[in-house]
Amino acid sequence: MRRFLKNILFVYLMSFCFLKIEKVQSIIPYYYFPTVQNLEKESLSIGKNAYQLLFFGQYEDSLNLAKLAVKINAKDEKLWLILSEAQVANKLYKNALNSLDKAQKINPNISEIYFAKSNIYLQISQQNKAKNTLEKGLRIEPNNYKAIFQLGNIFLMEKNYFKAIKLFDRSIKIKPDFWQAFNNQGLAYFEKNDISLSIKLFEKAISIEDNAEPLLGLASCLRFKDIKLALELAKKALSKDPNYVNYNYRKEQLWGEKLQASTEILLQNKQLQKDVILAKSKIDASS
């Protein structure tokens, strides 16, 4: 009897335990734990959204999303690159360089990391570092015509016109319709007092792209030879982009002292005063 009672009690306790387990299971919510692959996929999706926001000028939102993507997956150099771009857009240059350092540690063989670093160094006026990082990137991707052009621009800033012209030539060989390289060769040759060659290069740039910069550059060259045509070109340039009326803006575009002086004289011509005033008013209205 006692043994029988023990058996009954055992069966009862076992039944109670199973019932309790079922009840407990019925009230515990089900949690989904994503795999590493799913997390990585999600981080890339967030990174792409951050990049899209950056493209549409939503810089702060882009930065927040890029930070989130990196938190989810800190082992993807692409996400660090996106974060660095968002940080640059928000003028967080030191943070951007730190992000690129982390990308470089993950994969030091990506040329875009060095090119991005170079752009930041230029923005914070560290030309030597900009030059060195560009050269490192070009060792990985030697035919990147934009990077070659940018390296030429640094030499142009340093007034090393010979090296700048050679690099612009190199970028043109890779991309023959690269009008910006022809234009900047025109800038360099003007500072070397070779105005005839400067004219040809500005004309070549215009034949590819009817842009305000080579138009005004050519106008400044022709001031010596054909003032009527020079005035027509200057008017056209200012109507296309009024920013070129501004000395500091042209300086940002790497115009040298000699070309600047010639342009200032041209813009003082009485026949251009209405166009100059209109251009300045457009700049004031947009600022």
Comparing 279 with 44, which gets the higher pLDDT? 279
Q: Do the beta carbons of residue 75 and residue 106 sit within 8 Å? A: yes
User: At 24, is the pLDDT very low, low, confident or very high (cuts 50, 70, 90)?
Assistant: very low
Q: In this predicted model, what pLDDT tens digit does every residue of 195-207 receive, in sequence order?
A: 999 999 999 999 9
> What class does CATH assign to 177-287?
mainly alpha
pLDDT of residue 10: 40
Q: In this predicted model, what pLDDT tens digit does every residue of 215-233 receive, in sequence order?
A: 999 999 999 899 999 999 9
Comparing 265 with 14, which gets the higher pLDDT? 265
Q: Of 49-53, 110-114, 153-157, where does mean pLDDT reach its minimum?
A: 49-53
pLDDT of residue 47: 87
pLDDT of residue 29: 55
- In whole angstroms, give the CA distance from residue 79 to residue 70: 6
- DSSP run (H or E) holding 254: none
Buried b (16+ CB within 10 A) or exposed e, 194-227: ebebbbbbbebbbebbebbbbbbbbbbbbbeeee
**pTM recorded for the entire structure:** 0.83
What are the domain boundaries of the chain? 177-287
Query: Does the structure show a pLDDT above 60 at 14?
Result: no
pLDDT of residue 212: 98
Q: Of 21-35, 154-168, 197-211, where does mean pLDDT reach its minimum?
A: 21-35
Torsion angles phi and psi, residue 90, rounded to 5: -95, 10
Q: Do the beta carbons of residue 197 and residue 189 sit within 8 Å? A: yes
Tokens of 7: 């058996």
**Rounded mean pLDDT of the chain?**
89
pLDDT of residue 19: 39
Buried b (16+ CB within 10 A) or exposed e, 158-176: eeebeebbebbebbbeeee
User: At 36, is the pLDDT very low, low, confident or very high (cuts 50, 70, 90)?
Assistant: low
Using the Cα atoms of residue 153, residue 159, residue 160 and residue 165 in order, give the sign of their dihedral: positive
User: At 211, is the pLDDT very low, low, confident or very high (cuts 50, 70, 90)?
Assistant: very high
pLDDT of residue 28: 52
